[in-house]
Amino acid sequence: MILADTSIWVEMFRKSKFKTELANLITTDQLCTHPFVVAELACGSLPNRKKTLTYLDSLNTLPLIQIADVRVMIEARNLWARGIGYTDAQLLAACLATPGTQLWTVDKRLLAVSESVGIRANLP
């Protein structure tokens, strides 16, 4: 599975970037989302808002990870002072808790951290 973070969706909605890659992942049932990603997108301006949010909610969804468990991961993997925030840490934890799931992002700091923990998706 591939978790496309908010940065990927924003690029797709604003510039139609990654449209083909997202379509391919959807067609092969490899794309998943996370409640935090959908919530972040819901804070912005979306095309066909209701339809888009309904569609995002219908995708395979990664679990929310308990705050205590995210904090344990941050400490265990030395992820503090790496330029990521709690939402990023939540996405990393959800991917790590779901074997075989990789994170797709264009956020430079999150990209570096996802690579360091072995879950970076090899997509453009």
The full set of domain ranges for the chain reads 2-116
Distance (Å, whole) CA 110 – CA 124:
15
pLDDT surpassing 90 at residue 20: yes
- Residue pair 95/71 in contact by the 8 Å Cβ criterion: no
32 - beta bridge partners?
3, 60
The per-residue pLDDT for 97 is: 98
Residue indicated by tokens 């799931």 = 101
Q: What's the half-sphere exposure (Cβ side, CA atoms, 13 Å) at 122?
A: 1
- Residue pair 101/1 in contact by the 8 Å Cβ criterion: yes
The per-residue pLDDT for 116 is: 97
pLDDT in tens, 38-91: 999 999 999 999 999 999 999 999 999 999 999 999 999 999 999 999 999 999
Among residues 51, 48, 46, 12, the alpha carbon closest in space to that of 31 is found at 12
- 2-116 folds as Rossmann fold (3.40.50)
pLDDT surpassing 90 at residue 124: no
